[in-house]
Structure 1
Amino acid sequence: MHRVVIFGNSGSGKSTLAMARSASLGCPLLDLDTIAWEAGAETPTRRSPEASRSAIHDFVHSAESWVIEGCYADLLELAIPHATEIVFLNPGTKTCIENARQRPWEPHKYASPAAQDANLAMLIAWIRDYEQRVDEFSYTAHRRLFDGFQRRKRELQSNARQTG
């Protein structure tokens, strides 16, 4: 049984590592973006806490092994008690910004590559503020999750070795 939770700043490589781990383990993957936001909303709108909690509950009980990735500490807190391992991706702001600039189109988040590109300046500003913020998306929240976990955990400060 492998239940892996991967988290970190936007652009840290969460999706890349999560897809590789999910493939190597042959298990389902949950990207928290897919349950944190209302699908098809004109403007980004967070789903109700109850809907997100229910989706996480259903996912963690749906399979013996799984991988969850995201940056939402409030949602990660619901999954972590079920995890056998956590991975905190913390490669630094410069790497996260470069990754954001190079990321391929994410059709589950944006209607078109142009829409994604139009959001890039805001995303880079968001990434830069990671260590100063104190919300559920912040370094402080992620550090608290990592430090409090008592089972297998890894903090990766480089994207160089992000494989299964």
Structure 2
Amino acid sequence: MSKILIFGNSGSGKSTLAKRFSIKNCMAHLDLDTIAWQVTSPPIRTPISESAIQINDFITLNDSWVVEGCYSDLLQLVMEEADEIIFLNLSVKDCIKNAKNRPWEPHKYKSKEAQDANLTMLINWISRYPEREKIISLKKHM
């Protein structure tokens, strides 16, 4: 029975590592992106109280799990329950390279083309990770 939390910048390899753990060890996998945002256009952050309920349900229903994401407010809700915490602190350059090479994430985008249309914004977002002050930042992750 393992309970693993993985966090870091966008493009740091969180999803890839979480999927590997999940498949190899038959663990449930929760990508915090799937509960952090409401399905609206433009996306709106889900209230933390609602995300907390979803996280609690997930960790209660699963004996072994891996949770991954970059939202420090949501990470705090999982940290006490985790047996292992992994901080993927790659360079911005490596995160951008990974983002450019990432496979299609069907749980986030309707198509590979829709994902790629978001790439310029994502690269800009990744590059500001060391300077940001809010919940998705190197400062908060440290």
Q: Into which bin does the TM-score normalised by the smaller protein fall?
A: over 0.9
List gaps (5 residues or longer) in structure 1.
144-164
CA distance in 1, matches of 2:22, 2:121: 30
Residue equivalent to 2:38: 38
Residue equivalent to 2:135: 136
* Aligned: 1:19 with 2:12: no
Q: Counterpart amino acid of 2:108? A: K
Residue equivalent to 1:9: 9
Query: CA RMSD, aligned part only?
Result: 1.0
* SS state at 1:29 partner: strand
**1:72-95 deviation line (CA, Å, top 9, x unaligned):** 110000001000000000111111
CA distance in 1, matches of 2:127, 2:78: 27
1:13 to partner: Cα distance:
0.3
CA distance in 2, matches of 1:57, 1:87: 20
1:65 to partner: Cα distance:
1.3
Residue equivalent to 2:110: 111
Residue equivalent to 1:158: none
Residue equivalent to 2:124: 125
| 1:60-99 correspondence runs (5 A) | 60-99=59-98
Q: Counterpart amino acid of 1:25? A: N
1:113 to partner: Cα distance:
1.9
CA distance in 2, matches of 1:66, 1:108: 18
* SS state at 1:82 partner: coil
CA distance in 2, matches of 1:138, 1:96: 14
* SS state at 2:10 partner: coil
1:110 to partner: Cα distance:
1.7
CA distance in 2, matches of 1:49, 1:108: 21
When the two structures are aligned, how many residues end up with a matched partner? 142
CA distance in 2, matches of 1:33, 1:137: 12
1:23 to partner: Cα distance:
1.4
Q: Counterpart amino acid of 2:37? A: W
The sequence identity of aligned pairs, in percent, is 53
TM-score when scaled to structure 1? 0.83
**1:120-163 deviation line (CA, Å, top 9, x unaligned):** 111101101111001111011111xxxxxxxxxxxxxxxxxxxx
1:111 to partner: Cα distance:
2.2
CA distance in 1, matches of 2:118, 2:10: 13
TM-score when scaled to structure 2? 0.95
* SS state at 2:79 partner: helix
1:33 to partner: Cα distance:
0.7
* Aligned: 1:29 with 2:29: yes
List gaps (5 residues or longer) in structure 2.
none
